[in-house]
Structure 1
Amino acid sequence: MTDNRNMEWKTLKSEYIIRRPWLTARRDTVELPTGVVNDEYYVLEYPDWINVIAVTPDGRMVFVRQYRHALGQTCFEIVAGVIEKGEEPLEAARRELLEETGYSGGDWRELMVVSPNPSTCTNITHCYLATGVELVDGQHLDDTEDIDVCLFSRDEVLAMLERGDIKQALMAAPLWRYFAENNLNRSI
């Protein structure tokens, strides 16, 4: 049975530590329903994000390969990016796919919405599935982006997931969902 008691914390004080375009952090003083006060609770504020599982008409999946400095690794990932102020999530997803890979078109649907960490992050990620996408243009990258486009078969992507090669949890989750929905798991 579910307990329906109010578990919301009361914010007593909030102070910004840093406000930069890609990093905004604040320290909150919060009171729990039990009366306990935590005077040092940290929250990271980010804009909402998108990511895209893009599949070509012949069934290949569009990935990007790029260096991730925090891990010190070059990673294979699905397309992802920030939703710009005033932009709808689907619009951002279509824009990011075209900019990063040159692929566009096809049929789109939202696969799921996930949070990077609901304990400390304010944003959510809208995960899209785009099927039947085709190469229509070259990449249009920002100065700070160095991205290779890679096409993989479904079997190759599933093997990457099984080996743990896809490090970004916000990308692994929709990929696992995609494989579950399409009964593409080898163990079935």
Structure 2
Amino acid sequence: MKNEFSDEDKKWEVLNSEYLIRRPWLTARKDKVRLPSGVVMDEYYVLEYPEWVNVIAITTEGKFLMERQYRHGLQWIGYEICAGVCEKGETPLEAAKRELLEETGFGGGEWTPHMTISSNTSTVTNLTHCFVATGVERLSDPHQEATEDISIHLLSREEVRELLVNDQIRQSLMAAPLWKYFAEHHLL
């Protein structure tokens, strides 16, 4: 199939940008853009976020370290893997290790980059860097923030598989790396 445009020819030209809100957890802007075809869109909304990280953490005993917490958007309580934000000056790996220790008290082990994904390439500016940490151990008590109410659970491979198969992990940025992990390790 012949490509009529180079990748550069497919980019939209930003004619104007206006920030609608700039808060610590929500930055939204409205762009006026011109498409390569010449069509002008007066309102195209973009959400800006810092880089995110998440971790599939597996203990020395082979248990998956899972978190359970309330998520207000869906008004839902469910299982998740550890996740968080990259702070200024942190590499994604440093942020992932910090988040795991803060949220769960676990750390150490062998760390490998797993995948880098986007929650929505159409309207969101950041990426989520996913890691697998094997052989993690409890190093301290969790140091959760005042707004975090997270319970920690050690689940077997079979229990995590059942959560996935039965659509009990609703956060796509957490389900995707778990599905990939299970597929790569022939655990489906």
Do residues 106 (structure 1) and 109 (structure 2) align?
Answer: yes
After TM superposition, the score normalised by the length of structure 1 is 0.97
Once the two structures are superposed, residues 150-180 of structure 1 have per-residue CA deviations (whole angstroms, 9 ceiling, x without a partner) of 0100111011000000000000000001001
Q: Equivalences for 1:53-92 in 2 at 5 Å? A: 53-92=56-95
TM superposition outliers: structure 1 runs of 4+ over 2 Å: none
Q: What is the letter of the counterpart of residue 16 of structure 2? A: K
Task: Supply the distance in 2 between the matched residues of 1:182 and 1:124 (Cα, whole angstroms).
Answer: 24
Once the two structures are superposed, residues 117-166 of structure 1 have per-residue CA deviations (whole angstroms, 9 ceiling, x without a partner) of 01000000000000000011101011111110001001110110000000
Q: Equivalences for 1:158-177 in 2 at 5 Å? A: 158-177=161-180
Do residues 38 (structure 1) and 45 (structure 2) align?
Answer: no
The number of aligned residues is 185
Residue 68 of structure 1 and its aligned partner are, at CA, apart by 0.3
| Map of 1:18 onto structure 2 | 21
Once the two structures are superposed, residues 9-66 of structure 1 have per-residue CA deviations (whole angstroms, 9 ceiling, x without a partner) of 0000000000001000000000000000000000000001000000011110001111
After TM superposition, the score normalised by the length of structure 2 is 0.97
Residue 75 of structure 1 and its aligned partner are, at CA, apart by 1.4
Which secondary structure state, in structure 2, belongs to the residue aligned with residue 133 of structure 1? strand
Q: 1:9 aligns with which of 3, 7, 12?
A: 12
Do residues 125 (structure 1) and 99 (structure 2) align?
Answer: no
In structure 2, runs of 5+ residues without a counterpart are: none
Q: CA RMSD in A?
A: 0.8
Task: Supply the distance in 2 between the matched residues of 1:112 and 1:57 (Cα, whole angstroms).
Answer: 22
Do residues 146 (structure 1) and 145 (structure 2) align?
Answer: no
Task: Supply the distance in 2 between the matched residues of 1:95 and 1:4 (Cα, whole angstroms).
Answer: 46
| Map of 2:187 onto structure 1 | 184
Once the two structures are superposed, residues 76-133 of structure 1 have per-residue CA deviations (whole angstroms, 9 ceiling, x without a partner) of 1000000001100000000000000010000001100000101000000000000000
Identity %: 59
Residue 4 of structure 1 and its aligned partner are, at CA, apart by 5.6
Task: Supply the distance in 2 between the matched residues of 1:59 and 1:178 (Cα, whole angstroms).
Answer: 14
Task: Supply the distance in 1 between the matched residues of 2:122 and 2:144 (Cα, whole angstroms).
Answer: 32
Task: Supply the distance in 1 between the matched residues of 2:16 and 2:4 (Cα, whole angstroms).
Answer: 26
Task: Supply the distance in 2 between the matched residues of 1:98 and 1:110 (Cα, whole angstroms).
Answer: 17
Do residues 155 (structure 1) and 155 (structure 2) align?
Answer: no
Residue 2 of structure 1 and its aligned partner are, at CA, apart by 5.3
